[in-house]
Amino acid sequence: MTALSTVSAGIKPPTSIPQDTTWFHGRNPDSVGPRTGAESLLCTGGGVAVEELNVTGSGYLQLLCAGNDASQTNSINLTLTLDGVELYNYTHPDGELDGPIAAGMVQLSGQLINGVTLDAYRFEQGFTVDITTSATACYLIYKYYLDS
């Protein structure tokens, strides 16, 4: 088996990614983490930008999205800065049923996940994720791994 560093030697960190991308979570964003091997982090920013993740090192970002819990219609801004470059900065106006997604793709139908696609955004130095929302229950769902 070849070491990851050898296999990934030609993959470079992205310098831009699509903006204004959303995903449908149907008021259940926190159900995504356990079903995809991702982490779910409860965010309660009070309407100001809060750095929710600060990862240092090199590796791959596979999934990054946010959504509000049931019946919370507050807007959500998700900002991803990877290797010092702001790659994604999108404010979704109403995070009750769907929300911003910067990496990967998740398709939900009620409590069931119909499909998951994981990206492989390479990072060499690390990445940060900021969330701005006034929702009392906004979930940040993320999956990444570091090189060994």
- Do the beta carbons of residue 96 and residue 41 sit within 8 Å? no
User: Residues 17-28: pLDDT tens digits?
Assistant: 877 777 766 666
Rounded to an integer, what distance in angstroms lies between the CA atom of residue 47 and that of residue 23?
Answer: 22
What is the DSSP-derived secondary structure letter of residue 134?
Answer: -
User: Residues 82-96: pLDDT tens digits?
Assistant: 999 999 999 888 766
- Do the beta carbons of residue 127 and residue 55 sit within 8 Å? yes
Q: How confident is the model at residue 5 (pLDDT cuts 50, 70, 90)?
A: very low
Q: Check pLDDT > 60 for residue 132.
A: yes
- Whole-structure pTM value: 0.81
